[in-house]
C-alpha cells in the first residue's frame, strides 16, 4: 500500500558493484547479507547505510535462517521509515565527516544522511565532525538540522532544529565542557569506524594492520576516558 513498507534483502558473496548503491534508492530500506569469506567490507556496509537498511554477515549457511528471522522481526517492529537528516552548516562552518555513515553533499553544501528504519523506543546516534573559522566568544548557530521521516501507516513528517554552540579557543574550557555521555558517543562512533577499517585490512590479508588499528583505537578511547577521570567510561568503551 501507499503507507506500507518495502524492504529489499540481498544475499551476496561480497562480489558487488557500485550500481548496488544506486538500486538502494528504490526501496524504503535496502539490507545486505554477506555470505562467505570473500567480500568488500567497506562497499557492503556502504550499500546498507545508503539504503537505510541493516548489514549482516554469515560465515556459514547455518546462520542464514537466523538472520532472515532477525530481518523480518525488525520489519515488523518498524514505526519510522524513509528517514534522513538534512544538515545545512552555518556560514563559517564546514562539516568534515559523519562518523560511520554514508552521506551526500550537494552543490550548496547541504549534507543528506540516510538513517535506518526505527522501531518504537529506538534511538539512533549520529556524530558530526565540524570545523569552523568563527571568532571565539559568542554563542553562534552551527547548523540547521532537518529530520525527515514517514510514520508507518501515516504521512511524511519533518522536524527542524538549530544546533548552537559557544566557540572557544581555550582548550581547557573545551575539555571541561565535555560530559561522559558525550565522550562515550564520540568514542563509540570512532570505534565503529576503526572496526570497519580493521575488517577491511583483515579482508585484504593484513592481519597485523587490522590488529594495530584496533589496538590504537582502544588506546585512544582509554585516553579520552582517562582525561575525564572516569574509569567506568573506560570499561564501557572497552566493551563496545
Residue among 43, 30, 23 at smallest CA distance from 117: 30
Q: Which pLDDT tens digit goes with each residue over 40-98?
A: 555 555 555 555 555 556 555 566 667 666 666 666 677 888 889 999 999 999 998 99
Q: How far is CA 20 from the centre of its chain?
A: 19
Contacts of 179 (CB under 8 A, 6+ apart): none
Is residue 161 within 8 A of residue 145, CB to CB? The reply is yes
Q: In terms of pLDDT, which residue wins out, 3 or 112?
A: 112
Contact indicator for 13, 75 with CB cutoff of 8 Å: no
As a dihedral over the C-alpha atoms of residue 176, residue 181, residue 183, residue 188, rounded to 10 degrees, the angle is 180
- Segment among 4-18, 104-118, 165-179 with least mean pLDDT: 4-18
CB atoms within 10 A of CB 76: 8
State the pLDDT at residue 39: 53
Cell of 208: 597485523
The SS3 of residue 176 is helix
Q: Which residue has the higher pLDDT, 63 or 124?
A: 124
Where helices occur in the chain by DSSP H, the ranges are 19-23, 41-50, 64-77, 171-177, 180-203, 207-228, 231-238
Amino acid at each position: 500500500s501507499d503507507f506500507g513498507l518495502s524492504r529489499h534483502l540481498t544475499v551476496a558473496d561480497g562480489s558487488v558493484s557500485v550500481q548496488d548503491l544506486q538500486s538502494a534508492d528504490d526501496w524504503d530500506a535496502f539490507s545486505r547479507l554477506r555470505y562467505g569469506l570473500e567480500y568488500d567490507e567497506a562497499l557492503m556496509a556502504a550499500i546498507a547505510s545508503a539504503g537505510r537498511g541493516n548489514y549482516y554477515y554469515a560465515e556459514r549457511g547455518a546462520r542464514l535462517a537466523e538472520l532472515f528471522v532477525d530481518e523480518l522481526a525488525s520489519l515488523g517492529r518498524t514505526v519510522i521509515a524513509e528517514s534522513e537528516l538534512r544538515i545545512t552548516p552555518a556560514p563559517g562552518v564546514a562539516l568534515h565527516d559523519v562518523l560511520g555513515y554514508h552521506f551526500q553533499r550537494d552543490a550548496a553544501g547541504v549534507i543528506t544522511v540516510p538513517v535506518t528504519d526505527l522501531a518504537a523506543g529506538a534511538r539512533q546516534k549520529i556524530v558530526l565532525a565540524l570545523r569552523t573559522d568563527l571568532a571565539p566568544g559568542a554563542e553562534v548557530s552551527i547548523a540547521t538540522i532537518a529530520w525527515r521521516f514517514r510514520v508507518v501507516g501515516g504521512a511524511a513528517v519533518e522536524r527542524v532544529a538549530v544546533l548552537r554552540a559557544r566557540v572557544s579557543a581555550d582548550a581547557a574550557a573545551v575539555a571541561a565542557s565535555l560530559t561522559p555521555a558525550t565522550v562515550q558517543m564520540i568514542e563509540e562512533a570512532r570505534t565503529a569506524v576503526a572496526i570497519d577499517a580493521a575488517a577491511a585490512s583483515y579482508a585484504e590479508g593484513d592481519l597485523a594492520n587490522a590488529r594495530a588499528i584496533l589496538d590504537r583505537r582502544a588506546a585512544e578511547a582509554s585516553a579520552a576516558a582517562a582525561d575525564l577521570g572516569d574509569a567506568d567510561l573506560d570499561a564501557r568503551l572497552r566493551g563496545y
